[in-house]
Structure 1
C-alpha cells in the first residue's frame, strides 16, 4: 500500500466500528493537523493495538495487524485538542515501522481475508448473533452497560463478524484475535471461543452475586 500515519491505541478498532477519541498528545495533534493540511489524504490513518506499554509517551510494543480508519467527525477543543470519531475501514498488516518523526509511521498492506466464505456462513452468523444477544442481555440484567439486544449488524458477512465482535462483551485482546484471524471461517471460530470465555465469566459473576467493586 504505502507509508501511512499510525495511531497506536490501548484498544482494538475493528472494520465497521465507530470509536470516539480525544486527541491531546502533541504528536497526535500534529498528525491530525497534517491530515487537515493535506488535500490528497482522505483523513485516514492506521490504528493498531498496543500489546505492551502505554498510549502516551512512546516506548510501546505494537501489534502488526490493525485497521485503516477514517475521521468521520471532528471538533476542535480548547487547549490544542481534538475530539474525533473514527470509523474502521480495511484490515491492514504492518510491513515495517519507520521512526516516530514526529508521530508513528508504518509501511502497511491491505490484508483481505484468505479464501472464500464458508457455504454455511449465514447459519454461523445467525448462531453467533443469538449468542451475543443473550450475553448482552445477561450483562444488562446485572445492571451494567451493554449494547441493546436489537443492535443491528451488516448484511455483509465479513463486516457482520466484526460488528458482532464489537458488540460483544470482549476485551481488546479477544477483539484483536478476531481481527488477526486469517479467514472468515477462522474468525467465526475465534469469536465463538471468545464468547465461550465471556459466557463463563458472566455466569461466574452471576453466581457470585453480581459485579465486584
Structure 2
C-alpha cells in the first residue's frame, strides 16, 4: 500500500528534480521563504517539488502536474544578493491527490508516495548516455561531479538525471514517469542525444 502524507508544501517550478537528484535554488518570495523555515524546523520536513503545468489554471490549482518529487532541504545560505539559497535532494516519487492554498498563496497537497522505476542495469547499447552524462558534469561543475559508484551503471538513475537536465516539456516527463520502468525513457533519451550530436 502506498504511503499517504498530508499538508505537504508544494513548490511548482519550470526546472525539475527527481529522486536521487540535487537542485540549487534561489528563494525570494515570502511564501517560499516561510515554507523553507517551516520544513527546516521539522525533523522530517519535506517539500513537494512539482512540475509547472503551463496549460493549467493557478486559480483552480491545475497549474501543478500530479507526479512530483518529495525532497528535503540539505543546505541553505543567505546570499550576497539578499536572496535565500537552498539545496534540495529528491527523495521519493509521489502523486498529488489534493491541493489547497494558504492565505499567502503557498500551496499544500495530500500526496501518496508511489513506486517508481525499479533499479535497472544499464544495457551496453546505452553506455553512451552514461559517458555523455559524465562529460556534462565535467563541463558544468556547478551541477556536481560524476559519481564514482554504481549509479553510473543504473539505467534508472541515468534517465532521471537526463530528464532533469534536458529541456523536455513537463507533459512528456509526466508521461515517461508514469511508465512502470525506465525502458521507454532510455529509448527516448538515446534518440534525443543522438540527434543533438549529429
TM over 0.5: yes
Task: Mark the structure with the bigger radius of gyration.
Answer: 1
- Pick the aligned partner of 1:13 from 4, 11, 17: 17
CA distance in 2, matches of 1:148, 1:21: 14
Secondary structure in structure 2 of the residue aligned to 1:31: helix
**Range that drifts further, 159-168 or 13-22:** 159-168
Give the deviation of 1:62 after TM superposition.
1.5
CA distance in 2, matches of 1:35, 1:7: 12
TM-score when scaled to structure 1? 0.69
Secondary structure in structure 1 of the residue aligned to 2:103: coil
Q: Give the total of aligned pairs.
A: 186
CA distance in 1, matches of 2:102, 2:168: 24
Give the deviation of 1:25 after TM superposition.
1.1
Contact 1:16 1:163 in 2 (8 A): no
1:94 matches 2:90: no
- Pick the aligned partner of 1:191 from 182, 186, 189: 186
Give the deviation of 1:167 after TM superposition.
4.5
**Range that drifts further, 126-135 or 11-20:** 126-135
Contact 1:153 1:160 in 2 (8 A): no
CA distance in 1, matches of 2:175, 2:193: 14
- Pick the aligned partner of 1:105 from 100, 108, 126: 108
CA distance in 1, matches of 2:77, 2:187: 38
Q: Which runs of 5+ in 1 are unaligned?
A: 54-58, 204-213
Across the aligned residues of Structure 1 and Structure 2, the Cα RMSD in angstroms comes to 3.8
Contact 1:154 1:163 in 2 (8 A): no
